[in-house]
Structure 1
Amino acid sequence: MTSADLTASRREQALDWLLRLQQAPRDMPLREQFEQWLASDTENAEAYRKAERLWRLSGQLAPTTSEQWPASAEVVQLPVRRKVPRRWWLGAAVAACLMLAVAPSLSLRLQADYRTGQGETRDVTLADGSVVQLDSDTAIAVDYLGNRRDVRLLAGQAFFEVKPDKSKPFHVRAEGVQVTVTGTAFNVQLRPGRVGVDVQHGSVRVEEAAKVLAAALTAGQRLRYQDGQAQVSLFVPSQAAAWRQGQLIANDQPVAELVQELARHLPGTVLLRDDALGRERVTGVYDLRKPEAALRAVIRPHGGEVRSYGPWLLVLSKP
């Protein structure tokens, strides 16, 4: 998992702890678990401090751990309310979700040449005539210099229809993984801790640093690279980048992975608060044009439910 992935994960964990502590302020076992999480990593404490600050600024919530943090010039001291109405902490949760999502979005905006928002797709024709289709919440940076055609996938996933030119290889980079082609059609997916490559037609070479992961990945072959391991499997070529037809196809995948995928098509934040639910396996076809309904369809068979706190926060758990 990259440092950016770890930061995003800590940010979500911090928000989850805020929700849990506000809902059960007198739950001492919960408080002990929270203290253990804080002590397990100094970065956890920092993530929580930032999240709590957003709550205090946006919702006038009483700080739950203010005694642990030294005062700083950038923290606005707000009056403490003895009793916080439910509507206040829900409103603060919504605002925190929005503000926590801003920083990574701004970073991508600075790096990207082309990007899409949540629920948006886009077709981009590059200078050589190659076409890139961007999925929801996706960003790429393009660098055509000399005899090289380079594209960096910064977030999300994209489908590439590459114009053949043997004198100028086409490279797609996602984190440390590089896909090299001369002319073909393929999908590259970047998700926290993993990279996926699906080939619709033609062939590609996939490598990570000096390590060759696949010398020739051909039509109907799929590569998944995670935790330093590459796994190649077969799929129906017509299903490559099914997202282009508004479909999410799951074949014995963990719920957590599908939740992560559907979250890219929803505004705000989606929190999966049950690890056991996240490990359940799912097979099916889901409609990306109705992502919240798809989310409910994914978890309902396993006893999960979706709680909506306005349009910006969905919390998934078992009753």
Structure 2
Amino acid sequence: MQGDVKLTEAQKDEAALWHVKRAGGSLTAAQEQEFDAWLNADTGNRLAYDQMRVLWAQVEEPARRIAVSDAGQVPVWQSLLDWFSPLRTVTSCAAVAAVMAMVAFLNPDALENLQADIVTDAATVTEMRLPDGSAVFLAANSAIATDFEDGNRDVELLRGQAFFDVMHRDGDSFRVRAGMATVEVVGTRFNVDYLAHDTRVGVEEGAVRVSTGADTGSVMLGPGDAVAVGAGGLHAKEAVDIASVQSWMHGRLSVQNVRLDDLVARLDNFAPGRLMVLGEIGNKTVSGSFPTNDVARSLETLAVAVGGSVIKTSPWLTIIY
């Protein structure tokens, strides 16, 4: 029975990849034969593919229903009754939910943009002067919220990358929150990277104290020091090349031995559509410096480096596998 089949993550990833390939019409005759062989090799493969087709149809169908209008004319009162009927209400809710899910997938930054005071466009670096005289340099597609009322000097980096040049002011602290991390300073120059799940803080000049919302202590960073903060708390402090940490200010992402999954998640912030990694290839580690103003070229370089491939399924989704 199909209910007794336990699907593996690899089968789910392979099913998703085959579906987008077939939906995009990019399969050759040889690849069609390869697909048939994969489909028939294991009951779980077929089940995973069937589930993927059903899932995709559930997302597409409500949107299709919205786009198709009735050919016949009906009285206005009947239309109103139909609209508020239980079945129509359920269908409409499903359609709205599906559309919202698609919006969240294609534009996951929408909610953060509503919370932000400053949202940058595709420019490599945007310089902003804050009310206290401090300066912040923001990477492309970054967002911050600020609070400078009643003597506060608080900034929240909702996503992206920022370099702060903080103005010293009568010992008043300047705080930056990003994900799980809180950075507190008096006057200094430091970098905050919040592109993936972890927040990374690196100091160019002065000193900062980095802590988390949980009671896990804090760490002091000086020039050339960096630390990552994630769901597990504070990572170990490390010495870094601060120029490499700030390479984004020159349109590049420089990394050393990071998982492909993590790097693609960071590049996703600079891409016009969504980026996704499928399969075990995401666990491979990479090093190098990759342009953020040409994500397509960066993905091709990464694919060659890890022995993978890139497929653009639509203007909104690119997959590396």
Go from structure 1 to structure 2 and tell me whether the alpha carbon gap of 1:171 and 1:54 turns closer, same or farther (over 3 Å shift): farther
- Cα separation, 2, equivalents of 1:213 and 1:299: 40
Letter of the structure 2 residue corresponding to residue 268 of structure 1:
G
- Cα separation, 1, equivalents of 2:162 and 2:57: 35
Mapping 1:3-152, distance limit 5 Å: 16=16, 19=20, 27=39, 29-33=44-48, 51-53=59-61, 56=64, 72-75=91-94, 99-101=103-105, 104-118=108-122, 120-152=124-156
Comparing 48-57 and 190-199, the one that deviates more = 48-57
Is residue 21–residue 31 contact of structure 1 (8 Å, CA) maintained in 2? Answer: no
- Cα separation, 1, equivalents of 2:291 and 2:200: 21
Is residue 119–residue 264 contact of structure 1 (8 Å, CA) maintained in 2? Answer: no
Alignment match, 2:86: none
2:221 is the counterpart of 1:202: no
Is residue 180–residue 230 contact of structure 2 (8 Å, CA) maintained in 1? Answer: no
Unaligned stretches of 5+ in structure 1?
1-12, 38-44, 61-69, 77-94
Q: 2:278 aligns with which of 273, 280, 297?
A: 273
Alignment match, 1:89: none
Q: How far 1:96 sits from its partner (Å)?
A: 10
Alignment match, 1:303: 307
- Cα separation, 2, equivalents of 1:210 and 1:74: 38
Mapping 1:242-257, distance limit 5 Å: 242-257=247-262
CA distances 1:121-152 after superposition (whole Å, capped 9, x unpaired): 32111011111111122110000123320001
Comparing 19-28 and 114-123, the one that deviates more = 19-28
Matched residue SS, 1:193: coil
Structure label with greater radius of gyration: 2
Letter of the structure 1 residue corresponding to residue 103 of structure 2:
M
Go from structure 1 to structure 2 and tell me whether the alpha carbon gap of 1:253 and 1:105 turns closer, same or farther (over 3 Å shift): closer
2:263 is the counterpart of 1:258: yes
Alignment match, 2:241: 236
- Cα separation, 2, equivalents of 1:30 and 1:119: 44
Q: 1:179 aligns with which of 169, 176, 183?
A: 183
Percent of pairs with identical residues: 26
Q: How far 1:303 sits from its partner (Å)?
A: 1.0
Go from structure 1 to structure 2 and tell me whether the alpha carbon gap of 1:176 and 1:308 turns closer, same or farther (over 3 Å shift): closer
- Cα separation, 1, equivalents of 2:66 and 2:289: 39
Matched residue SS, 1:211: coil
* C-alpha RMSD of the superposition: 3.6
Q: How far 1:265 sits from its partner (Å)?
A: 1.3
Equivalent pairs counted in the alignment come to 269
Q: How far 1:287 sits from its partner (Å)?
A: 1.9
Letter of the structure 1 residue corresponding to residue 232 of structure 2:
G
Q: How far 1:176 sits from its partner (Å)?
A: 3.3
Is residue 206–residue 212 contact of structure 1 (8 Å, CA) maintained in 2? Answer: no
- Cα separation, 1, equivalents of 2:47 and 2:57: 17
With the length of structure 1 as denominator, give the TM-score of the two structures. Answer: 0.72
Letter of the structure 2 residue corresponding to residue 155 of structure 1:
R
Is residue 224–residue 242 contact of structure 2 (8 Å, CA) maintained in 1? Answer: yes
Is residue 106–residue 274 contact of structure 2 (8 Å, CA) maintained in 1? Answer: no
Letter of the structure 1 residue corresponding to residue 247 of structure 2:
A
Q: How far 1:21 sits from its partner (Å)?
A: 8.4
Go from structure 1 to structure 2 and tell me whether the alpha carbon gap of 1:175 and 1:49 turns closer, same or farther (over 3 Å shift): farther
Q: How far 1:165 sits from its partner (Å)?
A: 1.6
Letter of the structure 2 residue corresponding to residue 107 of structure 1:
L
- Cα separation, 2, equivalents of 1:107 and 1:237: 32
- Cα separation, 1, equivalents of 2:195 and 2:204: 20
Go from structure 1 to structure 2 and tell me whether the alpha carbon gap of 1:53 and 1:269 turns closer, same or farther (over 3 Å shift): farther
CA distances 1:206-226 after superposition (whole Å, capped 9, x unpaired): 111253554311111110122
Q: How far 1:59 sits from its partner (Å)?
A: 9.6
- Cα separation, 2, equivalents of 1:158 and 1:58: 41
Is residue 267–residue 312 contact of structure 1 (8 Å, CA) maintained in 2? Answer: yes
Alignment match, 1:283: 287
With the length of structure 2 as denominator, give the TM-score of the two structures. Answer: 0.71
